[in-house]
A and B are shown apart, each in its own frame.
Chain A
Amino acid sequence: MKIVIVGGFGVGKTTMVGSVSEIRPLTTEETMTQAGVGVDDNYGSESKTATTVAMDFGRISITEQLVLYLFGTPGQERFWFLWNGLFEGALGAVVLIDTRRLEVSFDVIGRLEERGVPFVVAVNDFPDAPRYPMEDLRAALDLPEEIPIVKCDARRRASSRDVLMTLMRFLHSIAMASASA
C-alpha cells in the first residue's frame, strides 16, 4: 500500500518520511521524457532528452503482510508527470505545507481534487513561520469542512505518525459514509 506525501520544495517531505520510516529514506528516480516538454525549461541544454527526478520514500511494516510505503514527491507543476504512476492506487495523500510559502501548495491541492485522491493537510510548524488561525488557513486553501487540517512537526516521529493516523481516520470515515449511503 502506498501513501503519498506531497508538498513544495523544502516543506519537510523528506524529514517526515524519515521520521516515521523504519528504514533510512531511500531515493528512487524516474526519468523524465516527453512530459518535460514545455514544462521543463531546457534552455541551454536542448540536446538533453531525458533527465531524472528523485523521489524519497520510506517503509512502515504494519504486519508481516501489510507494508505501508510513504513517497515524498515534489509538488511543482514540472514534476507532475511523476504523479501518474504514484497516485495510481495510492490510499491517500498528505499535503505538507509551510505557512511561509503557502502559495506553493495551491496547485497541489487543486490537482489532488481533480484526481479525486483523498488527502489531509498537515501544517509543518516551522519555528519562524507565521501562525494563522486554522479557519483562516482553511479559507485561504479553500478547503471543504470535511478535509482535516492538522499541525505537525515533521521532525518528530510521533507527530508525523499522528498525521498518518489523521489520514487513516479520514479514509475510514469516507469508507463508513459510502458504506452507509
Chain B
Amino acid sequence: MTPPQRRRRFPKEPPEHSPPRIPDAARAPQPSEGQGEGNQPGRLYILTGQVEDGDRAALDLVTLIVANDDAPPPTAQPEQAALLRLCRTPLSVAEVSAYLNLPFSVVTVLLTELLTAELVHARAPIVRSELPDRSLLEAVMHGLQKL
C-alpha cells in the first residue's frame, strides 16, 4: 500500500490534490457564525472606545497582560472592568479573549486603550530568534519531562 504523494507547491499550481469534500467538511467547525447572535448582541465596535488614529498596540496572542491596580476604576466600561479583574494575575491575550468571549482583534483594541490609560501593562513573549536559546529549550524539555 502506498500513501498518496505530496507535491511541492509551485506558483499558481492548481490544488488538484485537495479533494473537493475538504472545504465542505471544513465548514463545520466554524462557530458563532454571525456576531449578532447568541450572547453577543450588537456590533463589536460598540465595545471599543474611539481609537483616534486606529493604531493598535503590538500584542501577540501570548503577550501577558497584568493589571496595574487591584480594582478597576469606577469609570471603566463593563468589558474593560472584566478584563482588568481577569488580569490581576498575568494572563495571555489569548486567554483574555477566550474568557471574555471576544475575538482577538477586539481584545487588542480594548487593551490598546487600557495600555494608553496605563491601567495594564504588557509583558512581551519570548519569541523565536535566529538562534534559539539552548538553555531555554533545555528548561522547557526539563519541564515537559515532569508532566
Task: Say if A and B assemble together.
Answer: yes
Interface residues in chain A, defined as those with a beta carbon under 8 Å from any beta carbon in chain B:
1-2, 8-10, 20, 26-31, 41, 48, 50-55, 57, 59-63, 66-69, 71, 74, 76-79, 85-86, 88-92, 99, 102-107, 109-111, 114, 130, 132, 136-137, 139-142, 157-158, 161, 164-165, 168-169, 171-172, 174-176, 178-179
Question: Which of A30, A60, A74, A157 is the one whose CB lies under 8 Å from B143?
Answer: A60
B60 and A142 form a contact (CB under 8 A): no
Interface SS of chain B: loop
Interface residues in chain B, defined as those with a beta carbon under 8 Å from any beta carbon in chain A:
1-9, 15, 17-19, 22-23, 25-26, 28-35, 60-62, 64, 92, 94-95, 97-99, 102-106, 125-128, 131-134, 136-145, 147
Question: Which of B62, B102, B144 is the one whose CB lies under 8 Å from A164?
Answer: B144
For B126, the chain A residues whose CB sits under 8 A away are 1, 66, 89
CA–CA, A8 and B139, complex, Å: 31
B7 and A106 form a contact (CB under 8 A): yes
Smallest distance from the beta carbon of B146 to chain A beta carbons, Å? Answer: 9
Given contacts A132-B3, A141-B6, A30 and B128 within 8 Å (CB-CB):
no
CA–CA, A31 and B1, complex, Å: 42
Given contacts A20-B147, A66-B143, A9 and B103 within 8 Å (CB-CB):
no
* Given A2-B60, A63-B139: 19 more A-B contacts, CB < 8 Å: A1-B127, A1-B136, A26-B98, A28-B95, A31-B104, A54-B30, A60-B147, A66-B140, A69-B92, A71-B94, A74-B26, A92-B128, A103-B4, A103-B18, A140-B3, A140-B4, A168-B137, A175-B134, A176-B134
